[in-house]
Structure 1
Amino acid sequence: MEVSVKSEIDVDIHPGYPVSWQAAAFNGILRGTARPLSAVLLRHTAGMALASRLIGLGQWVPGRLPPEASTVRARLNGCSGEWVRGGAGLDETKVLLYFHGGAYFICSPATHRPITWRLSAAARRPVIALDYRQGPVHSLSESLSDALGAYECLLDRGFTAKDVLLAGDSAGGHLTLATLLALRDRGLPLPSAAICLSPWTDLSDGCRRDNRWLDPMLPAGRVDWLARQWTAGLDCRDPLVSPVYGDYTGIPPLMIVTGSTEILRNEGRRVALSARENGVPVTYEEWRRMPHVFPILADVVPEARIFFRHVARFLRAVEERAGGSDTAAA
């Protein structure tokens, strides 16, 4: 593993694990299925509706959860979701608020259980996965309103901000960053840290060129098309619309994870660099030849399972940093 260390938490990591045959196989499958289907469907609202229905069917297929894991339906400030517990002996005084990905129009907490139960086990706390409102019926601001409402509801229920983590993947990574910036700007107490998996951070009108032909899953033109759908009439460089343009001063530690061949890799890297310039400790991990949001493949891809050990390491570093700050303050 190649590591450029500034501290235990402010670090660039390029895991050197050999690419497994399972990961290579999934890259091939995605290139032959997800990429061409996206290129066909993501051209008009009818195609989006069909894609949403197809993905929606998946949530009725029972997900693989180990015997020790469980899910329970929940509501937070009028928004539905589910509590996910990755085992026994969790610290119920702490919580991780999770925002699923899906380009702001597909997927749900149920589709992302391979991530959420493992995050619960790694963080040793329950996860609340939010079923926030999505397009094309709802706007980015409504998704953000649900996220902020859920966070404030957790505080109202007695969780302290320092005992809350935020996390999300892809569009959920976008929502994680926008939530942090909005909380900071409103003067609300901030969570202890946040984890972003393959975050979609730039919804401006720039043309994506990095990894344009290498990404096995996402066609660059379709990502640009989706961005235009969600930002019509908005200032695309507003940090709550494109978090890549945010000032991250005062934001808690971040863990940002990408795959080396992702079309969104550069967006995650830009946020990491910008946040560091604003004084935020950032663990940035770039995994060789891993597809978009590869941790969701943890049932079958070994690198995706290993990743959750890295999450546990990051959270230990966050706790040690917080403990050192408390000692210094005393």
Structure 2
Amino acid sequence: MTTSISAETLRLVAATAAQRKVARTLAMEPGGPPTLRARIANQVIRAVLMTAWRCTPDSEAGMTRMQRATDLLGRLLAVPRGVSISPQDLGACTAEWVRAGTPDERRVILYLHGGAYFFGSPRLYRPFTWRLSAATGRPVLALDYRLAPRHTPGDALDDALTAYRFLLGSGYRAQDVVVGGDSAGGHLTLALLLALKEHGTSLPAAAVCLSPWVDLYCEADSHRLNRRTDCLLPADKLAWLGRLYCQEKEDDDPLFSPLRGDLSGLPPLMVMASGSEILRDDARDLAARARAAGVHAVHQEWDGMTHVFPVFAEFIPEGKAAFRHVAEFLRAVEA
């Protein structure tokens, strides 16, 4: 009798362990339930980062204050051993090379950080860019483009064009370059692709957009529907910035709304976002429009994640898994 009970107990324990393993596996894939660590991180991000942004005045002084706070945070961040950082002067702007281990120097990623066009820097993004280099086996050139309020998204686009041309001038072939960005950097990635196409410049092999702020006019339904579930972006703050950047611009200007641009002829595109963020529909609409234009587009929507959750990979397991998905996408593009 005792042996029978013990065997049954062991079977139950094994079944429970298997169920937990399956749950952990599903959480590492789009559509799976968020892990406990992700849910805890969401609450911390909401309490600290979102609250700080909400308390920032809608003014140039408020933007400058946010810049200084994030610059200070960036100076406190470190990278692990085996990661090298080196500066790159590009003239009107700068960048930095990030290499994890011994990447394949024949290929490169040009990365455009997020920050709503008024904060953020390569230094702040080092915990992200070293992981991107490690996962893809490529060096990453992280662009330090010019920011508002002293500059405009148009200046940021000029800097992105400069960085891309620098890579081509340094011996990289267009087919060996990948461009990526998150949030405003995702918007800048699309604007760069459209500008390159307009100028007749060879396009990169692929592009990766993480939670891209595709439409600066903030007209998608999720800006309204997800304002309570987004734990990082205050919808009213982002809408104010969009109006500021788009004033006196034409509605169909592809720089200010790449969603309205002609996406035909663009390289393979990976779009990743959270189902609970206000930019959810920006990502959905971009993927749909890209496919309609004949572009190969991979769209991943992760449930219950914060905006640009791969940036928080140190704290969110799904963020680490996202790098694996990006690497798989790039290997598929190469194949």
* Global fold match (TM > 0.5): yes
- Tell me the alpha carbon deviations over residues 211-246 of structure 1, each in whole angstroms, 9 at most, x when there is no partner: 121111112111100111211221243111111112
- Identity, in percent, stands at 47
Q: How does 1:1-330 map to 2 (within 5 A)?
A: 15-63=30-78, 65-88=79-102, 90-204=103-217, 206=219, 208-320=223-335
Which amino acid in 2 is paired with 1:150? A
Offset, 1:155? 0.6
Q: What secondary structure is seen at the aligned counterpart in 2 of 1:165?
A: strand
Preserved CA contact (<8 Å) 2:77 2:127: no
Structure 2 CA distance for partners of 1:269 and 1:205, relative to 1, 3 Å: closer
Amino acid across the alignment from 2:175: K
Residue 297 of structure 1, CA deviation: 1.0
Aligned-pair distance for 1:143? 0.6
Instruction: Judge conservation of contact 1:42–1:226 (CA < 8 Å) in 2.
Output: no
Cα distance change, pair 179–105 in 1 and its aligned pair in 2 (3 A): same
Deviation per CA, 1:281-303, whole angstroms, max 9, x where unpaired?
Answer: 01101111110111111112111
Q: Say which SS state the counterpart of residue 224 (structure 2) adopts.
A: coil
Indicate if the aligned counterparts of 1:247 and 1:274 stay in contact, CA closer than 8 A: no
SS in structure 2 of the partner of residue 83 of structure 1: strand
Q: Normalised by the size of structure 1, how large is the TM-score?
A: 0.89
- Give the CA deviation at 1:77: 4.5
2:99/2:130 contact within 8 Å kept? yes
SS of equivalent to 2:333: helix
User: Displacement, 1:122?
Assistant: 2.0
**Aligned equivalents of 2:35, 2:229: Cα separation in 1:** 18
Shift of 1:51: 1.2
Deviation at 1:69, TM superposition (A): 1.4
Query: Counterpart amino acid of 1:29?
Result: V
Q: Which amino acid aligns with 1:67?
A: R
**Distance (Å, rounded) in 1 between the aligned partners of 2:218 and 2:326:** 33
* 1: CA distance, partners of 2:65 / 2:121: 16
Deviation (angstroms), 1:15: 1.6
Deviations 1:75-96 (A, max 9, x none): 23542110000112x1112111
- Alpha-carbon displacement from aligned partner over 1:268-320 (angstroms, at most 9, x marks no partner): 11111000000000110111111011111111211111111101110111011
Long gaps (5+) in structure 2? 1-27
Cα root mean square deviation, aligned: 1.6
5+ long unaligned stretches in structure 1? 1-12, 321-330
User: Aligned AA for 2:45?
Assistant: L
Deviations 1:144-201 (A, max 9, x none): 0000011011111111000000001111101000000110111100000000111001
**Aligned partner letter, 2:148:** G
Structure 1 or 2: more helix by fraction? 2
Which letter does structure 2 place at the counterpart of 1:248? L
Larger CA Rg, structure 1 vs 2: 2
Rounded Cα–Cα distance in structure 1 between residues aligned with 2:46 and 2:107: 39
**Other structure's SS at 1:33 match:** helix
Say which SS state the counterpart of residue 253 (structure 2) adopts. Answer: coil
Aligned pair count reads 306
- Give the superposition deviation at 1:16: 4.0
TM-score by length of 2: 0.88
Distance 1:78 1:36 in 2: 34
Partners of 2:146 and 2:206 lie apart in 1 by: 24
Correspondence for 1:7: none
